[in-house]
C-alpha cells in the first residue's frame, strides 16, 4: 500500500512514517519545513528515513495549487498531518492558520478527487472542544465554542472533509488528537520547553494556578491509533467518523512539572502567571469509540512516557 503523509518531517509525521516503513508500507512524504520551529530539527527527523528504499520525500507547500503534481506514485491512502501549529500564535496570525489549515486541506482534497483517491485520515485536535464543561469529551458533543483560530481551523477541516465525503465518496477518519508528547517533540510544546528550563536550572513559568490539566498521549499510542485508522478506512465503504485519540487520564500542570523534574533529577523554581488567551482549562478524552472501532488502548502511562522522553532528551544534549 502506498500512503501519502503530509507533514512527514514533523514530530508526529516522522514518527508515523518510520513505523509505516517498519511495517512494509511504501510512504510518500511531503513537508514545507514551515519556519514555526527550526528547519534543522525537521531535517534531523528525516535523516534516517531518507535512505529507506520505500520512502520518497518531496519538499512542497500544500497551499500551492500545483504542489501535488510532483507525485507520480499511485496513492492508496492519505494521512494529512500538515498544519500550521500552535494555539497561542494563531491568535496573533489567524490568516496564516486559515491559509494553511483550511485552504491547504481543500487543495489536498481537490487533488484527491482529481486522482480518484478515496481513503483519508485527517489529524484534527482536542482544541475543538474549547472549554467544554462536559467531561470526558465525547465525539458527539457540541463543538461550536472554539476559543482560538487554531481550533476553528481544525473544526473547519472536519466540516470540509464531510463535504468531500458526501460529494465524492471519500472514506474519512477525523482523529482528534490529545496533547501528543514523546521523543522528537516540538520545542514550543510544554513538556519539551519545561524540560529545557529544568535541565538548564532556569525558572519555570506556569500559566494559571497549576490545576489546569491535559490528556497527555504518548507518541507511540498516537501512531498506533493512526495506523489502525488506515486499516479501518482501507476496508470500509461510505465511511465517515470522528474519533478521539487520547489517554483518558488527564494530568494537572503542576503534576506534569513534578514528573519531569523527578525524571531530570532537578527541582525548578516555579513562577505563576495568569492564564493566556486561547488556553483551555482541561482536556479529557473519552476513548470508548476508539476502542470499539480501532481496538485502541493506550499502553504508555504518563510517568513511563516522560522517562522515555527525558532519556531521548539527554541523548540529544
Give catalytic residues, as residue numbers.
150
Cα(311)–Cα(305) distance, integer angstroms: 10
Helix pair 190-199, 302-316: axis angle to 10 deg = 60
Contacts of 43-48 spanning 24+ positions with Cβ under 8 A:
43/9, 45/9, 45/10, 45/11, 45/13, 45/14, 45/184, 46/8, 46/9, 46/14, 48/18
Cα(85)–Cα(94) distance, integer angstroms: 11
Cα(207)–Cα(279) distance, integer angstroms: 9
Closest listed residue to residue 26, CA positions, set 81, 79, 82: 79
DSSP assignment letter at 101: I
Q: Write down the H helix ranges in 103-148.
A: 104-115
- Residue 313 C-alpha cell reads as 532528551
Q: How far is CA 265 from CA 65, 203, 205, in A?
A: 50, 15, 19
211 in Cβ contact with 159 (< 8 Å): no
DSSP assignment letter at 75: P
- Work out the burial of residue 38: count CB atoms within 10 Å of its CB; fewer than 13 is exposed, 13-18 middle, 19 or more buried: exposed
17 in Cβ contact with 27 (< 8 Å): yes
The bridge status of strand 204-207 relative to strand 240-245 is unpaired
Amino acid at each position: 500500500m502506498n500512503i501519502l503523509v503530509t507533514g512527514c518531517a514533523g514530530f508526529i509525521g516522522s514518527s508515523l512514517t518510520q513505523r509505516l516503513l517498519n511495517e512494509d508500507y511504501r510512504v510518500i512524504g511531503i513537508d514545507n519545513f514551515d519556519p514555526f520551529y527550526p528547519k534543522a530539527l525537521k531535517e534531523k527527523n528525516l535523516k534516517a528515513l531518507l535512505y529507506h528504499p520505500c520512502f520518497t520525500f518531496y519538499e512542497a507547500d500544500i497551499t500551492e495549487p500545483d504542489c501535488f503534481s510532483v507525485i507520480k506514485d499511485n496513492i492508496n491512502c492519505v494521512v494529512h498531518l500538515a498544519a500550521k501549529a500552535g494555539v497561542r500564535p494563531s491568535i496573533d496570525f489567524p490568516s496564516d492558520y486559515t491559509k494553511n489549515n483550511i485552504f491547504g486541506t481543500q487543495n489536498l482534497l481537490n487533488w484527491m478527487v482529481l486522482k480518484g483517491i478515496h481513503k483519508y485520515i485527517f489529524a484534527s485536535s482536542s482544541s475543538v472542544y474549547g472549554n467544554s464543561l462536559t467531561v470526558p469529551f465525547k465525539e458527539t458533543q457540541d463543538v461550536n465554542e472554539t476559543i482560538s483560530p487554531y481550533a476553528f481551523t481544525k473544526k473547519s477541516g472536519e466540516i470540509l472533509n464531510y463535504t468531500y465525503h458526501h460529494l465524492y465518496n471519500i472514506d474519512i477518519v477525523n482523529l482528534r488528537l490529545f496533547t501528543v508528547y514523546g521523543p522528537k517533540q516540538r520545542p514550543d510544546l510544554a513538556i519539551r520547553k519545561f524540560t529545557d528550563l529544568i535541565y538548564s536550572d532556569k525558572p519555570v513559568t506556569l500559566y494559571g494556578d497549576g490545576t489546569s490539566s491535559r490528556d497527555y498521549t504518548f507518541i507511540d499510542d498516537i501512531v498506533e491509533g493512526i495506523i489502525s485508522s488506515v486499516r479501518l478506512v482501507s476496508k470500509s465503504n461510505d465511511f465517515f467518523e470522528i474519533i478521539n485519540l487520547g489517554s483518558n487520564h488527564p494530568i494537572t500542570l503542576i503534576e506534569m512539572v513534578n514528573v519531569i523534574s523527578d525524571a531530570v533529577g532537578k527541582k525548578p523554581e516555579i513562577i505563576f502567571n495568569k492564564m493566556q488567551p486561547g488556553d483551555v482549562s482541561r482536556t479529557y478524552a473519552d476513548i470508548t469509540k476508539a476502542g470499539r472501532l480501532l481496538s485502541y488502548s493506550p499502553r504508555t502511562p504518563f510517568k513511563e512516557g516522560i522517562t522515555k522522553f527525558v532519556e531521548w532528551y539527554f541523548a540529544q544534549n
